[in-house]
Amino acid sequence: QIVRVVFYNLENLYDPYDDTTKLDDEFTSKGMKRWTFSKFLVKLNHLAKTFMAIGGWEPPAMIGMCEVENRYVLNKMIYETPLKKYKYRFIHYESADARGIDVALLYRPEVFRVLFSRNISIQFPFDSLLHTRDILYIKGVLFSTDTVHIFVNHWPSRRGGFTESVPKRRLVAQTLRSALDSLQQNRVDPQIIIMGDFNDEPDQPAIRDVLKAEAYTTQTTSSTLVNLMLSKMTNLNPATL
């Protein structure tokens, strides 16, 4: 069976309410964005229509996303937009990100049954005050037959300069690689999907050398991470999922 899996950066999906524990003042009615409830609802409905269009005749089974403020905005999306008829559910954990934006996964329960989920927090040994988004891990079953392991990411941005930010993304890549190694040691050929906004090009060292994601070739084995974007860049045919 064919399953459609989507990842989308929601570009600051904030509610219009001030949270004193987060740097979200910009997205309030008095903030620089003049973020009102009506603007928030318009954005929600535009996103819902985008996801429905991506799905074509069949809505996506899973939608990974980043730049989500909280569970409130996700509940609004799945219950109060055109997406409500598809009965999506979501998985979300609050992270330590200073701006209060996290990753999440929307999924259709009739297609994907969640068995387990957790957040993988990131610790920067070179800066204990630095915080970023967690990696979201979900284990579930597709169509009651195939067990799939999903990792949703939003790696540190290039703010402050590309060279200065490289060690941050490298550390997140190492954290993810460690989780993958543990998974592959304890499972025989686990089915893995890694999605996200990596704030890096597909051929950058954090993805190529640390994560060890490669372009698809005729020598690709079942244990190899296939970098679909790199395959696209190099005009090679990606693996059939």
Q: Are strands 191-197 and 146-154 parallel, antiparallel or unpaired?
A: parallel
CA distance 202 to 222: 20
pTM, entire model: 0.92
Task: Count CB-CB contacts under 10 A for residue 186.
Answer: 8
Average pLDDT, the chain: 91
Write out pLDDT tens, residues 202-238: 889 899 999 989 888 777 777 789 898 886 776 544 4
Write out pLDDT tens, residues 94-117: 999 999 999 999 999 999 999 999
CA distance 94 to 174: 21
| pLDDT at site 240 | 41
